[in-house]
Amino acid sequence: MYICKYILDPLSEIHKSGFVTILGKPNAGKSTLLNQLLGQKLSIITPRAQTTRHRIFGIDSGDDYQIIYSDTPGVIRPRYKLHERMMDSVGTALEDADVLVLLLSAYETHDESSLMDMASRFSGPKLLLINKIDISQPQEVDMRMHMATSQMTFHENFKVSALKGQGVAEVKAAILSLLPKAPPYFDKEQVSDRPERFFVSEIIREKLFLLLYEELPYSTEVEVVQFEEDEEISRIHATIHVERKSQKGMIIGKGGLMLKQIGTEARRDIEVFLGQKVYLELFVKVSEGWKDNPTYLRGFGYR
Ligand SMILES: Nc1nc2c(ncn2[C@@H]2O[C@H](COP(=O)(O)OP(=O)(O)OP(=O)(O)O)[C@@H](O)[C@H]2O)c(=O)[nH]1
Ligand SMILES: [Mg+2]
């Protein structure tokens, strides 16, 4: 997505705005960091890798600033067209960025060579965050920091716990100091570029990732097919797409129990998100091989 940057107006003399991309491997804590920076739950979070599949704007506005964060999918080597689309969205988020936040987990180890290559190609200011310090050995944290700083130059380095919020205020202060002078790009009340129905589908997907076993969540996609809001209640119909027929029964579960649990837990969170009562109906549909099918992927919002 190309974002047209505003022509400066007199306001921009005192107002700062910019795009900040959070980059890292799956599970590093990018979505946790975004939510912590925003002070609200926008992105879904699960202990499983590859939870985030889309670039998501999280917008933090103050009187004289607007920070537009991009949460991004974790950097992986693509195995399906789905992954290719996910990595394309990471590439675009890097192209648009004024500031890059590179988030490395001190707790897990990955092959980070492609991630470090991407980060080193970014020519703007970079912040290095070593995350999960609450559960990591100090030597491990220092080693990760040394490994990254020996490969490229960062404007500033931080040791953080995105989960506990440790060090996050300092990161925001550093971001504010690096933002260019510009007027706001979005309405100051806006928290994301995505509509409510996108977050509704994400909440359902979060429950699939939390409740389903092994590789099954990776075969699922959620599509909100009907979303009607009135003053009293939101009526939502969503389809859970699976790749193969055999997976359909596993999602529905014995006596429909699994689907019921997914629905109950999702509805509870959607009610909190929308601030009103929700009637949620879930269907399961086989969309053979959707992860490698451009038509399905387009329909699910992967461009
Ligand atoms: N202990 C601890 N756990 C964390 C911290 N940050 C994130 N986590 C946990 O790490 C897991 C992954 O967090 P996410 O925020 O979903 O990670 P992500 O980088 O967005 O992952 P993908 O979307 O898969 O790329 C979750 O179980 C989080 O609760 C942290 O600072 N400390
Ligand atoms: Mg994420």
Q: What CATH number corresponds to the domain at position 288? A: 3.30.300.20
Q: Are residues 164 and 216 in the same domain?
A: no
Whether pLDDT at 10 is above 50: no
Q: Are residues 172 and 200 in the same domain?
A: no
Strand partners, 224: 238
Q: DSSP assignment, residue 123?
A: -
Q: Are residues 170 and 201 in the same domain?
A: no
Q: Are residues 143 and 241 in the same domain?
A: no
**Which residues have CB under 8 Å from 267's CB, separation 6+?**
278, 280
* Ligand 1 atom at minimal distance to the Cα of residue 160: 31
% residues pLDDT > 90 (the chain): 94
Give the pTM.
0.94
Q: Report if residue 54 sits inside a domain.
A: yes
Ligand 2 ion: Cβ-proximal residues, 5 Å cutoff: 30-31, 51-52
Q: Are residues 15 and 156 in the same domain?
A: yes
Q: Are residues 251 and 223 in the same domain?
A: yes
Q: How far is the CA of 243 from the centre of ligand 1 (A)?
A: 27
Q: How far is the CA of 33 from the centre of ligand 1 (A)?
A: 8
Cβ atoms of 138 and 58 within 8 Å: the answer is no
Provide the b/e sequence for 86-107 (b: ≥16 CB within 10 Å). bbebbebbbebbbbbbbbbbbb
**Which residues have CB under 8 Å from 145's CB, separation 6+?**
128, 130, 157, 159
Count of structural domains, the chain: 2
Closest among 134, 126, 128, 131 to 160, alpha carbons compared: 131
Q: Are residues 109 and 204 in the same domain?
A: no
Q: Kindly report, residue by residue over 152-204, the tens digit of the pLDDT.
A: 999 999 999 999 999 999 999 999 999 999 999 999 999 999 999 999 999 99
Q: Do strands 56-62 and 65-71 pair parallel, antiparallel, or not at all (unpaired)?
A: antiparallel
Q: Which band of pLDDT confidence, cut at 50, 70 and 90, is reported for residue 218? A: very high
Q: Are residues 73 and 120 in the same domain?
A: yes
Q: Name the residue type at position 191.
A: V
Q: Report if residue 5 sits inside a domain.
A: no
Provide the b/e sequence for 245-273 (b: ≥16 CB within 10 Å). eebeebbbeeeeebbeebbebbbebbeeb
Query: Domain range for residue 45?
Result: 10-178
CATH number at 20 reads 3.40.50.300
Cβ atoms of 134 and 163 within 8 Å: the answer is yes
Is 70's C-beta closer than 6 angstroms to any atom of ligand 1?
no
Q: Are residues 81 and 32 in the same domain?
A: yes
Q: Kindly report, residue by residue over 99-130, the tens digit of the pLDDT.
A: 999 999 999 988 899 999 999 999 999 999 99
